[in-house]
Amino acid sequence: MNVRIKFLGGAKSVTGSKYLLEFDSYKVMIDCGLFQGLKELRLRNWDPFPLDASTIDAIILTHAHIDHSGYLPRLVNEGFSGPVYCTSATASLLNIMLMDAAKLQEEEAEYARKKGYSKHSPPQPLFGIKDAEMALSLLKPYPYQTVVGVNDHLNFTFHDAGHILGSAIIALELAGTNQTKKIVFSGDLGRYDQPLLYDPKPIEEADVLFIESTYGNRINKTNDTLSEMAEAVNTAFDKGGCLLIPSFAVGRTQLLLYYFHELIKRSLIPDCKVFVDSPMAINATSIHKKHRHDHKLSIGKNEHESVFDDPHFHYYKSQESSVNLNAVDHGAIIISASGMCTGGRILHHLYHRLPREKDTVLFVGFQAIGSRGRRLVEGEPTSRIFGLEVPVKASIDTIHGLSAHADQEELLQWVNHFKSAPKMTFVIHGELESAQALASELQKQKGWKNVIIPDYLESFQLFQGI
């Protein structure tokens, strides 16, 4: 049996994760993500797919984030009809995330048509609600630590990656005619000793390893996250305005709610209202309560109570409620998606609040190159929203310690569990500088020899004649 890999995304970038494994003629794709950030990357979503989608036999997802799952409806539209394996919690999240993504695609295309700011005539969504529904019908959920048979020669196991609810490390075992091989995809690895999720599961061996490198060149210290959060809130409130937080709906929003619950309980910030203005984040919070054994947040007096039920928290689903938040001018925290300000309700809040000098926008997660969030963090004086240049007069603040991604030290901590070096290690899901930094540390600290940073659409032979 011959095994090849082709990098259809997530190579020298942190978005669009798609990795095609070919076991002779049998094709399995790991992840199926959308490209985000730079325009040149986003345009890849519209390019013809590099192969006939109907020839892909199965897809295995590491987790539900859109840069790992969001291309699935488009691929279904192009002819894919095989099983999509994922964890149970990932399946629950995808039921809201893919439908939300499809709805946003359709709404933004219609909004662009009405306002006339699209270069396409008429504007078309990348995929629609029917595509998302079809994709969801293909999901095959499994719990962690369960061996799943794909075919007579291939099985895999999901291990907790500690990144978001349901995130997984994928360990594939291939039984060839003469040998057995193990291929491991780290997925997005989470941080250690976090209040919400468990530590990434240690893996001890792999013939071939694919490891993410989002923060391969960064050390994110989290010595006193509560104090950092308290300072950010109090500084914003002292200006007499509101604190607006663009947040990823899954994982980051729930972690923020935990911290705000603690800050208010300990009187480290004023008694204030926290508005969660994201239908998807609200639904994701409910899913965290459903899958309560997959995370560490303690349950209260009974299984239905948690920090998410704090009376200071107000969950706004309707568009009317969202619009009403424009009138709130001081002493409130507004959390809205998306985390990199690429779409969703956060755009409307930025449109209204960026020109307000008393308001503060707090970024609490990774901002990909080319994203609106990255440009705001880097100090752009105006931000183009809905075809208009909006002046940036609000304060822009950042906290790095809340990242759901392992930093360089934690990536190496996870790698230290390997008893011997993989025969091949591919450093993926990171911008070039980050990937190079991690590759260098793997070579220097671990003495690993065959460490590769692949290019987009590059292919490699993994095994031959096994």
pLDDT band at 250 (very low <50, low <70, confident <90, very high): confident
Mean pLDDT value of segment 313-317: 94
Whether pTM > 0.85 for this model: the answer is: yes
Residue 303 has a pLDDT of: 46
Q: What is the pLDDT of residue 414?
A: 98
Mean pLDDT of the chain: 93
Query: Is the pLDDT confidence value at 120 over 90?
Result: no
Which two tokens mark 284? Answer: 């994701």
Q: Could you tell me where in the chain the CATH 3.60.15.10 domains are found?
A: 3-218+404-463
pLDDT of 253 higher than 70: yes
Q: What confidence tens digit (pLDDT) does each residue in 390-416 have? A: 999 999 999 977 888 999 999 999 999
Could you report the per-residue pLDDT of 275-295, keeping only the tens digit for each?
999 888 899 888 988 898 898
What is the per-residue pLDDT for 304? 44
Record: fold of 225-398 = Rossmann fold (3.40.50)
Dist. CA 283–CA 276, nearest whole Å: 11
At residue 331, the pLDDT reads: 97
- pLDDT tens string 134-149: 999 999 999 999 999 9
Average pLDDT over residues 188-215: 96
> Cα(first)–Cα(last) distance of the chain, in Å?
5
Q: CA 105 from chain center: how many Å?
A: 18
Stated as kind and residue range, the H or E segment containing 130 is helix 129-136
**Dihedral angle of Cα 292, 296, 297, 301, to the nearest 10 degrees:** 70
Concatenating the DSSP letter of every residue in 93-105 gives HHHHHHHHHHHHH
pLDDT-wise least confident of 39-43, 160-164, 454-458: 39-43
* CA quadruple 420, 26, 89, 173: dihedral sign: negative
CATH class of 3-218+404-463: alpha beta
Every domain of the chain with CATH number 3.40.50.10890 lies at 225-398
- Give residue 410's pLDDT: 97
